[in-house]
Amino acid sequence: MSTPADTAERAQPRRKPEARLIGLLGPAFVAAIAYVDPGNVAANLSAGAEYGYLLVWVLVVANVMAVVVQYLSAKLGLVTGQSLPEVLGGRLSKPTRLLYWGQAEVTAAATDLAEVIGGAIALHILFDLPLPVGGVIVGVISMIMLSVQSRRGQRTFEFLVIAMLAIIAVGFVAGLFFTTTDWGEVAGGLVPRFEGSSTVLLAASMIGATVMPHAVYLHSGLARDRHGVSKDPDRIRRLLRATRLDVVLALIVAGGVNIAMLLLAASALPGVPGTNTIEGAADAISTHLGAGVGLVFGIGLLASGLASASVGAYAGSAIMAGLIHRRIPVLWRRAVTLIPALIILAIGVDPTWALVLSQVVLSLGIPFALIPLAWYTGRADIMGSFVNSLRLRIAAASVAIAIVTLNVALLYLMITGQD
């Protein structure tokens, strides 16, 4: 399995500017899979079923944040020819690199947990398979998908992931057409507010599921690998224009899917027993909206687990290679990181709650990816003439401050037990 660092140089001589911007699109759609993984399903359904439209604003804000973050990540890769982990690995001392890699691996493990558990739940919903068996199947199929990238190249892998994204969108949005949404309440949900520490916990999990650390680390490598390393300012400017379009389109899709999930739960599932779990929500969707809608939802959840498991394993490999300069074949890594999820499934931990908590871990890991990204892309000695403008530096700093503030509030409320 090739990694971003392995493929950049040998890919460069073959790169030619495409005639149209549409031919440059794709990397952001791979990264966007991280924004519609099973962790999103758990967090969004829980938020909608328990608190109605209260936290719609969280998804809107998170998606705006994601546009800024993913553009900066891709920009770093295109301008420097290095992924974010490689830039970090080249500037941190060895002890600091090891610590940084350790926290990044914790967030990667949380990612793997969400993806495998979500896929296993989908197989249980669709075929009544035991969760551990479903977890193994998800792991095996994700390995097959990763082999496509290794053997057929990134472009083929992009097409495969985009096809899965289309299935996810249909699966999670379809139910919205069979329920009645109170748009006045939706508008009220755009006003930022919380109702106790439990809503802060859910908000953190929703942001952790939207602005995901591994997507921040990965996108810089995806953009670099897809387009090659170039020193031509005109080509870089063209690639950055295409990247802005790529990111906006991809996150319109992902953000729309996330908001649709919350609206579906808020409209159709409030007060319905058992909707605090994905299985219960799926049963409720089938009961209240029809078996066909429930089936489509299950298919969307399965596609989400399979696609995000592949992208997550690819990201973990890139993080390790960039930070500690060690390369483990990504298929081996996928096999090893499958073990914790299978243990969770086997011992009977509530899988939906495990998913929500995994998203909180991801939220806590975001600053470690986001702050260096904002710092490096704002430095002229690294970015040259493509250094962030004042407006973009302010936007990046605002995103970082907002996320860190939310995490501090979350930790305070959890430690003090306030509600």
Query: HEC states along 139-153?
Result: HHHHHHHHHHHHHHC
This prediction has a pTM of 0.87
DSSP for 93-156 reads: -HHHHHHHHHHHHHHHHHHHHHHHHHHHHHHHHHH---HHHHHHHHHHHHHHHHHHHHHH-HHH
Q: Which residues of 47-56 are buried (b: 16+ CB within 10 A; e: fewer)?
A: bbbbbbbbbb
User: For residue 299, what pLDDT is reported?
Assistant: 94
Q: Taking residues 32-48, report their average pLDDT.
A: 84
Chain centroid offset of residue 333 CA: 19
Rounded to whole angstroms, the Cα distance separating 337 from 360 reads 19
Residue 295 pLDDT level (bands cut at 50, 70, 90): very high
Q: Taking residues 161-172, report their average pLDDT.
A: 92
Report whether pLDDT(342) > 80: yes
Q: Taking residues 197-220, report their average pLDDT.
A: 82
User: For residue 326, what pLDDT is reported?
Assistant: 82
Phi, psi (deg, nearest 5) at residue 25: -80, 155
Per residue in 246-294, pLDDT tens? 999 999 999 999 999 999 999 988 877 777 778 888 888 888 888 999 9
Q: Taking residues 82-102, report their average pLDDT.
A: 92
Rounded to whole angstroms, the Cα distance separating 119 from 125 reads 10
Q: Contact 318/90 with Cβ under 8 angstroms? A: no
Report whether pLDDT(389) > 90: yes
| Domain residue ranges of the chain, discontinuous segments joined by + | 4-8+19-416
Helix and strand tally (H, E) in the chain?
18, 0
List the single range of 86-90, 102-106, 333-337 with lowest mean pLDDT: 333-337
Q: Taking residues 147-170, report their average pLDDT.
A: 86
User: For residue 11, what pLDDT is reported?
Assistant: 45
Cα-based torsion angle of the residue sequence 346, 352, 357, 363 in order, rounded to the nearest 10 degrees: 130
User: For residue 61, what pLDDT is reported?
Assistant: 92
Residue 43 pLDDT level (bands cut at 50, 70, 90): confident
The sign of the CA dihedral 28, 33, 35, 36 is positive
User: For residue 12, what pLDDT is reported?
Assistant: 46
CATH class of the 4-8+19-416 domain in this structure: mainly alpha
Number of residues written out for the chain: 419
Q: Which structure tokens are listed for 226? A: 């897809």
Q: What is the mean pLDDT of the chain?
A: 85
User: For residue 149, what pLDDT is reported?
Assistant: 74
Other beta carbons within 10 Å of 280: 17
The residue type at 275 = T
Residue 355 pLDDT level (bands cut at 50, 70, 90): confident
Percent of the chain's residues with pLDDT above 90: 43
First to last CA, the chain: 47
Report whether pLDDT(376) > 60: yes
